[in-house]
Structure 1
Amino acid sequence: MTKVRTLAALIMTPLAIAAILLLPTPWLVALTAVVFLAGLWEWFRLAEIDDTLSRTVLLLVNLLLMVALVWASRSSSGGSLVLFQLATVVGVIWWLLAAMWLKHYAFASDHDTHARMFKLAAGTLAVVPAWCALALIHAAQPNGHRWLLVALVIVWVADSGAYFVGRRFGKHKLSPRISPNKTVEGLLGGLVAGIAVGVLGGMFAGADTGQLPLVAAVALLTVGASVIGDLYESLLKRHVGVKDSGNVIPGHGGILDRIDGVLAALPVFALGKAWLGF
Structure 2
Amino acid sequence: MTHRKRIQSALWMIPLAIAAIWFLPTPWMGALMALLLLAGLHEWCALAGLDRTQAKWSYLAANGALVAFIAWTDGPAHHNLMTAMFVGGAFWVLVPLWLWKFDFARESCNRNRFAKLLVGMLACVPAWAALVWIHGSDGGPAWTLFAIGLVAAADSGAYIFGVNFGKHKLAPNISPGKSWEGFWGGLGVTLALALVCMPLFDAPWSDFWRYGLLGLLTGVFSVFGDLFESLMKRHACIKDSSALIPGHGGLLDRLDSIVSGLVVFALVKYGLAL
TM over 0.5: yes
C-alpha contact (below 8 Å) 1:178/1:238 kept by paired residues? yes
Q: CA deviation at 1:135?
A: 0.7
1:177-216 matches, within 5 Å, as: 177-216=173-212
Corresponding residue number in structure 2 for 1:91: 88
1:70-89 matches, within 5 Å, as: 70-74=71-75, 79-89=76-86
Corresponding residue number in structure 2 for 1:148: 144
Q: Secondary structure at the match of 2:178?
A: strand
Q: CA deviation at 1:53?
A: 1.5
Cα deviation per residue 1:37-86 (whole Å; 9 max; x = unaligned)? 11111111100111122111100000000000112114xxxx33111011
1:66 aligns with 2:67: yes
Provide the C-alpha distance between the structure 1 equivalents of 2:32 and 2:203, rounded to a whole number of angstroms: 28
1:106-255 matches, within 5 Å, as: 106-141=103-138, 143-255=139-251
Q: CA deviation at 1:206?
A: 3.4
Provide the C-alpha distance between the structure 2 equivalents of 1:207 and 1:139, rounded to a whole number of angstroms: 20
Corresponding residue number in structure 2 for 1:6: 7
Corresponding residue number in structure 1 for 2:253: 257
Unaligned runs of 5+ residues in structure 1 are none
TM-score, structure 1 normalization: 0.96
Provide the C-alpha distance between the structure 2 equivalents of 1:222 and 1:42, rounded to a whole number of angstroms: 24
Q: Secondary structure at the match of 1:181?
A: strand
C-alpha contact (below 8 Å) 1:151/1:198 kept by paired residues? no
- Structure 1 ranges of 4+ moved more than 4 A: none
Query: Alpha carbons of 1:139 and 1:13: their partners in 2 closer, same or farther (altered >3 Å)?
Result: same
Provide the C-alpha distance between the structure 2 equivalents of 1:21 and 1:196, rounded to a whole number of angstroms: 23
Q: CA deviation at 1:97?
A: 1.1
Deviates most, 200-209 or 173-182: 200-209
Provide the C-alpha distance between the structure 2 equivalents of 1:53 and 1:105, rounded to a whole number of angstroms: 30
Corresponding residue number in structure 1 for 2:29: 28
Count residues with an aligned counterpart. Answer: 273
Provide the C-alpha distance between the structure 1 equivalents of 2:202 and 2:243, rounded to a whole number of angstroms: 38
Provide the C-alpha distance between the structure 2 equivalents of 1:269 and 1:86, rounded to a whole number of angstroms: 15
Q: CA deviation at 1:156?
A: 0.8
Task: Give the alignment partner of residue 265 of structure 2, picking from 257, 263, 269.
Answer: 269
Matching residue's letter, 2:247: G
Q: CA deviation at 1:246?
A: 0.5
Q: Secondary structure at the match of 1:247?
A: coil
Corresponding residue number in structure 1 for 2:16: 15
Q: CA deviation at 1:204?
A: 1.9
C-alpha contact (below 8 Å) 1:147/1:202 kept by paired residues? no
Cα deviation per residue 1:140-198 (whole Å; 9 max; x = unaligned)? 11x11101100001101210110111011000000000000000000011101111112
TM-score, structure 2 normalization: 0.97
Provide the C-alpha distance between the structure 1 equivalents of 2:198 and 2:49, rounded to a whole number of angstroms: 41
C-alpha contact (below 8 Å) 1:161/1:193 kept by paired residues? yes
Q: Secondary structure at the match of 2:170?
A: strand
Provide the C-alpha distance between the structure 2 equivalents of 1:201 and 1:38, rounded to a whole number of angstroms: 32
Provide the C-alpha distance between the structure 2 equivalents of 1:213 and 1:247, rounded to a whole number of angstroms: 41
